[in-house]
Amino acid sequence: MPTNSNGNDSRRAALEGVRVIEIGTFISGPFAATLLADFGAEVLKLELPEGGDPMRTLGAYPPDGDSSYWWAAMGRNKRSVALDVRTPEGRDVLGRLLEKADVLVENFRPGTLDRWGITLEWMKQRRPDLIVARISGYGQDGPWRDMPGFDRNAQAFAGLVHVTGEPDMPPQQCGLPVCDFTAGLWSAFGIVVALMGKSRHGPSDGNEIDLALYEAIIPFLKDMPQRWRHQGRVTERTGNTPDYVAPGGAYRTGSGDWIFISGTGNRVFERLLTAVGRPDIAAAEQFQHNRDRVAHRPVLDAAINEWLGTRTTDEAIAALQAADVPAVKINSIADVMAHPQVAARGNFVEVPDHDRGDVCMPAPVPRMAQFGPTVRWTGQNLGESTREVLQAELSLDEAQLAELRSRGVIHY
């Protein structure tokens, strides 16, 4: 039975009837396909017969398990077809599957599919209006086209790592693969835009989406490009203290916990300083504008720290929230998953799995009144749907399947 955290009618899937072929590994391309599958697209995940997607090996494993818990979430709602598309026979099977597909998602280094004979022209011969989404380290053109790239490289290349961490410490990567996941999100958005464009404006000769991993972060760089271009200023690391607003950042309570407080805007600033017993600072002329508050940040932080030092975490957060000041504990994953707000929103779901019992995973987002996402099943075993798909879609009989299997072209 579908698991639907949003409470809407799981039979109404916005992308039902959209057929996607995913030839991807690890995170970015597969995550794009996962998002489409969550909203009802039929996704065929093509994996090499020997080992499949290396994503199966990442992260924690269940006892005696063959693949990770992470795979159960990343592979959800997809049908695994173990097919070696590098072989002539495998490429022929792919070509026949493409005739009924709307979208192909891949995230190999540029030129990889071409070397296997799977060129854009070859794909378009089989499906002229095919939408092809490509994610790679640095994009399909440019002088760095052929450079290898993973999430950490993309974070560093795009400028994210340079501004992350404490000023007197080495630059710090983000603790999560944000470029990979965000690239998947941008690609899924591009695919839906392409599908909508085709639906509204009629048949086309297809579309190609070209996204570099580092480009996933470029739109998030706030005013850093303008500071450099127009003022010659390079944005540097400021740790947990934002450089564009004050007061705000990470502060320690009397309990020893860290909390994050935002004092953005004149009204919130006034409420914050009043809550910590310093309305005089809020009223002072030198703190009436944000630029002046940034310049005198130490005075503001000293007042906040003095007040926090005599209060427990619960007392501090309760007082600040009562004053309508944004303040939260900096949560560990244990804190996040135990929080009543997260429980009320259904942000994590338990999904029955064929050999892991119930597997916990993040619920699909966003919530929608209609056509919301569902988790229908967890990541399949390698090649679990090979026989079913090739029989139903291509009418291959048992003898043909056995021949392909004996030659290592397919696995089931």
Do residue 214 and residue 353 come from a single domain? yes
In-domain check, residue 239: no
Do residue 68 and residue 95 come from a single domain? yes
Catalytic-residue membership of 180: yes
Going by C-alpha positions, the residue among 301, 327, 163, 300 that lies closest to residue 243 is 163
Please identify, among 305, 329, 353, the residue that sits at the C-terminal boundary of a domain: 329
Which residue out of 38, 102, 180, 353 is catalytically annotated? 180
Count Cβ atoms below 10 Å from residue 380 Cβ, excluding itself.
23
pLDDT at residue 346, as a whole number: 97
Count Cβ atoms below 10 Å from residue 270 Cβ, excluding itself.
19
pLDDT at residue 2, as a whole number: 52
- The string of DSSP codes covering 335-401 is HHHH-HHHHHHT-EEEEEETTTEEEEEEPPS---SSS---B---PPPTTTTHHHHHHHHH---HHHH
CATH assignment of the domain containing 312: 3.30.1540.10
Q: What angle do CA 53, 57, 61 make, to 5 degrees?
A: 140
CATH assignment of the domain containing 121: 3.40.50.10540
Q: pLDDT tens per residue, the chain (412 residues)?
A: 455 545 444 568 999 999 999 999 999 999 999 999 999 999 999 999 999 999 999 999 888 778 899 999 999 999 999 999 999 999 999 999 999 999 999 999 999 999 999 999 999 999 999 999 999 999 999 999 999 999 999 999 999 999 999 999 999 999 999 999 999 999 999 999 999 999 999 877 899 999 999 999 999 999 999 999 999 999 999 999 888 899 999 999 999 999 999 999 999 999 999 999 999 999 999 999 999 999 999 999 999 999 999 999 999 999 999 999 999 999 999 999 999 999 999 999 999 998 778 999 999 999 999 999 999 999 999 999 999 999 999 999 999 999 999 999 999 9
Do residue 174 and residue 297 come from a single domain? no
Burial of 122 per CB tally in 10 Å (0-12, 13-18, 19+): middle
Do residue 75 and residue 193 come from a single domain? yes
Q: What share of the chain is helix, strand, coil (3-state, %, to 5)?
A: 40, 15, 45
Question: How many Å apart are CA 270 and CA 136, to the nearest integer?
Answer: 47
Please identify, among 303, 329, 355, the residue that sits at the C-terminal boundary of a domain: 329
pLDDT at residue 150, as a whole number: 96
Do residue 57 and residue 193 come from a single domain? yes
In-domain check, residue 241: no
Question: How many Å apart are CA 118 and CA 126, to the nearest integer?
Answer: 11
pLDDT at residue 1, as a whole number: 40
Do residue 173 and residue 291 come from a single domain? no
DSSP annotation of 70: H
In-domain check, residue 1: no
Kindly report, residue by residue over 215-251, the tens digit of the pLDDT. 999 999 999 999 999 999 999 999 998 888 999 999 9
Do residue 210 and residue 308 come from a single domain? no
Do residue 194 and residue 169 come from a single domain? yes
DSSP annotation of 164: S
Do residue 26 and residue 156 come from a single domain? yes
pLDDT at residue 3, as a whole number: 54
Do residue 165 and residue 107 come from a single domain? yes
Total domains present in the chain: 2
In-domain check, residue 238: no
In-domain check, residue 14: no
pLDDT at residue 295, as a whole number: 95
Please identify, among 300, 329, 358, the residue that sits at the C-terminal boundary of a domain: 329
Instruction: Give residue 43's domain range.
Output: 19-219+343-411
In-domain check, residue 235: no
Contact assessment for residue 402 and residue 80, using Cβ atoms and an 8 Å cutoff: no
Kindly report, residue by residue over 133-156, the tens digit of the pLDDT. 999 999 999 999 999 999 999 999
